C-alpha cells in the first residue's frame, strides 16, 4: 500500500521532530505532489499519540518552507499548540505525582522502578511534549505484595482485580487523576521462551541493582538500566502489536532509548537475549522500519542490515499494518458498551490481525495467537 501525500508529510514531520539532535534534515514536502490536507496530518498525529513530535517537526521545518500554501492554517496551528501545551502541563503534573508517589512508597519500605512512560520521555529532546499514559511501576515479588496491600488500604481496591491479573501480578489503581499500574512481572504473554528471558532480565535488574536514576525535581526515580530497559520496551511493543495494535509513539520510544544510549549499550548481551527469546526476526523488521520510515540513524540501530531486501519488504508490510490499525487499535470500531459484541469483535480483530501479520512474521504470528487462545481456554477452565 502506497503512502498518501498526507501520510508522507506526517512521517517526514515525525522524523524532523524525532531526530533534531541527530542533525536530521529533510524537506518535509519531499514526495508530496498535492497540497497538504493539514486536518488529515493532525488526525494522524492524534491517532498515533505524537502531536508533540509532529509540532516539533513543524517548528523545525516551517522557517525553511517557502510555499505558504503548504503551511498549517493559522487556526489549526493555534489549536495544535494549545493541545501540546496541555500535554506539557499534564506531564509536569504527572512528574510531580510520580516523585511524590515514589517517596510515599519508600517511606513504607517499598522499592519500585518506574518503567515506560515518564522515564522513557527523558530520552526525548522535548520530554514534556511526549504524550503521557499511565504510571507503570515494576517491583520484585516481596515489594509487589507490600505495594498491593498498601495501595488497597490507602487508595481502595484495584480496578482490575481478576483471577487473570492476580496470576499475572498486575493491578491497577486510580489515584487522584492518575492510573497507577503495579507490575510484578513484565511478561509479554506471547511465548514462554520470551517470558523466561524477561524474568532473567528482571532478576538482573533487582538483584544486581542494574538501574539508572532520573532526577525528577527533588526525587530520585529509579529506572531500569538501558541494557534491561531495551528488552522491556521492545517486548512490550511486540505484546501490543500481536494482541492489540501498535502506534508510532511506542516505536519512537524504543528508537529514542536506543539513540540516547547508543554508545553504552552492550550489543553482545542484547543479541544473546534477543536470540534466546527467538525474536531476532521481529527486531530486524522493526529496525528496518525505524530506519526507513522514522529516519533512525542506521548506525544507532543494532543488527539492522539496510541492504536486506527481505526485511525491507517486511518493514513495508509492517508500515501498512501500523498505519491502518493505529495506536492500540484505536482506528477500528469496537462496540465497547455490549460485552458480547466487544469480545466477539476483539476476537475477530485478533484473527484478522494474525492473518495480516503472518505476511510479516510467518512463523511467530500464528504461534503467538495459539498461545493467546490456550491461555484464554486455561483461564476459562480454571474459573469453571
Q: Which residue has the higher pLDDT, 206 or 28?
A: 206
Total tally of structural domains belonging to the chain:
1
- Give a yes or no: residue 51 inside a domain: yes
pLDDT at 163 over 60: no
- Give a yes or no: residue 98 inside a domain: no
Please say whether the beta carbons of 238 and 188 come within 8 A. Answer: yes
Query: Which pLDDT value is given to residue 165?
Result: 64
- Give a yes or no: residue 286 inside a domain: no
Query: Which pLDDT value is given to residue 64?
Result: 46
Please say whether the beta carbons of 12 and 294 come within 8 A. Answer: no
- Give a yes or no: residue 15 inside a domain: yes
Query: Which pLDDT value is given to residue 60?
Result: 84
Distance CA 203, CA 216 (A): 25
- Give a yes or no: residue 343 inside a domain: no
- Give a yes or no: residue 68 inside a domain: yes
- pLDDT, tens digit, for every residue of 327-374? 554 445 545 556 666 667 777 778 889 999 999 999 999 998 888 777
pLDDT at 25 over 70: no
Q: Which domain holds residue 12?
A: 1-72
Whole-angstrom CA distances from 68 to 56, 134, 190, 241 are 18, 39, 49, 38
pLDDT at 289 over 90: yes
Which range scores top for mean pLDDT: 51-60, 75-84, 151-160, 338-347?
Answer: 75-84
- Give a yes or no: residue 4 inside a domain: yes
Query: Which pLDDT value is given to residue 349?
Result: 79
Global model pTM greater than 0.95: no
Determine the 3-state secondary structure of 84 from DSSP. Answer: helix
Residues pairing with 136 in the sheet: 115, 181
Could you identify the residue written with the cell 511493543?
Answer: 237
- Give a yes or no: residue 28 inside a domain: yes
Amino acid at each position: 500500500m502506497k503512502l498518501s501525500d498526507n501520510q508522507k508529510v506526517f512521517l517526514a514531520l515525525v522524523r524532523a521532530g524525532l531526530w533534531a539532535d541527530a542533525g536530521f534534515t529533510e524537506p518535509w514536502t519531499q514526495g508530496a505532489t498535492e497540497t497538504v490536507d493539514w486536518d488529515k496530518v493532525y488526525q494522524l498525529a492524534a491517532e498515533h499519540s505524537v502531536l508533540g513530535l509532529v509540532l516539533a517537526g513543524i517548528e523545525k521545518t516551517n522557517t525553511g518552507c517557502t510555499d505558504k500554501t503548504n503551511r498549517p492554517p493559522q487556526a489549526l496551528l493555534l489549536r495544535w499548540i494549545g493541545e501540546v501545551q496541555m500535554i506539557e502541563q499534564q506531564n509536569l503534573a504527572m512528574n510531580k505525582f510520580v516523585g511524590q508517589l515514589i517517596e510515599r512508597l519508600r517511606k513504607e519500605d517499598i522499592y519500585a522502578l518506574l518503567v515506560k512512560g515518564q522515564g522513557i520521555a527523558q530520552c526525548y529532546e522535548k520530554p514534556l511534549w511526549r504524550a503521557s499514559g499511565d504510571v507503570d511501576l515494576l517491583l520484585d515479588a516481596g515489594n509487589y505484595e507490600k505495594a498491593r496491600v498498601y495501595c488497597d488500604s490507602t487508595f481502595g481496591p484495584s480496578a482490575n482485580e481478576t483471577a487473570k491479573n492476580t496470576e499475572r501480578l498486575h493491578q491497577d489503581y486510580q489515584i487522584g487523576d492518575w492510573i497507577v499500574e503495579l507490575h510484578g512481572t513484565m511478561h509479554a504473554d506471547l511465548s514462554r521462551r520470551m517470558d523466561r528471558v524477561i524474568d532473567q532480565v528482571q532478576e538482573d535488574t533487582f538483584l544486581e541493582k542494574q538501574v539508572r536514576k532520573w532526577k525528577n525535581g527533588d526525587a530520585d526515580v529509579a529506572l531500569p538500566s538501558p541494557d534491561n530497559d531495551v528488552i522491556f520496551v521492545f517486548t512490550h511493543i511486540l505484546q501490543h502489536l500481536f494482541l492489540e495494535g501498535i502506534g508510532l509513539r511506542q516505536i519512537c520510544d524504543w528508537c529514542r532509548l536506543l539513540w540516547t544510549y547508543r554508545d553504552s549499550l552492550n550489543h553482545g548481551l542484547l543479541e544473546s537475549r534477543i536470540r534466546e527469546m527467538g525474536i531476532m526476526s521481529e527486531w530486524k523488521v522493526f529496525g528496518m522500519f525505524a530506519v526507513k520510515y522514522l529516519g533512525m540513524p542506521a548506525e544507532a540501530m543494532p543488527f539492522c542490515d539496510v541492504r536486506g531486501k527481505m526485511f525491507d519488504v517486511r518493514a513495508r508490510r509492517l508500515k501498512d499494518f501500523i498505519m491502518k490499525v493505529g495506536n492500540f487499535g484505536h482506528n477500528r470500531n469496537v462496540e465497547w458498551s455490549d460485552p458480547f459484541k466487544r469480545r466477539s469483535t476483539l476476537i475477530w480483530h485478533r484473527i484478522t490481525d494474525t492473518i495480516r501479520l503472518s505476511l510479516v512474521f510467518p512463523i511467530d504470528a500464528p504461534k503467538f495467537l495459539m498461545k493467546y487462545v490456550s491461555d484464554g481456554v486455561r483461564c476459562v477452565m480454571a474459573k469453571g
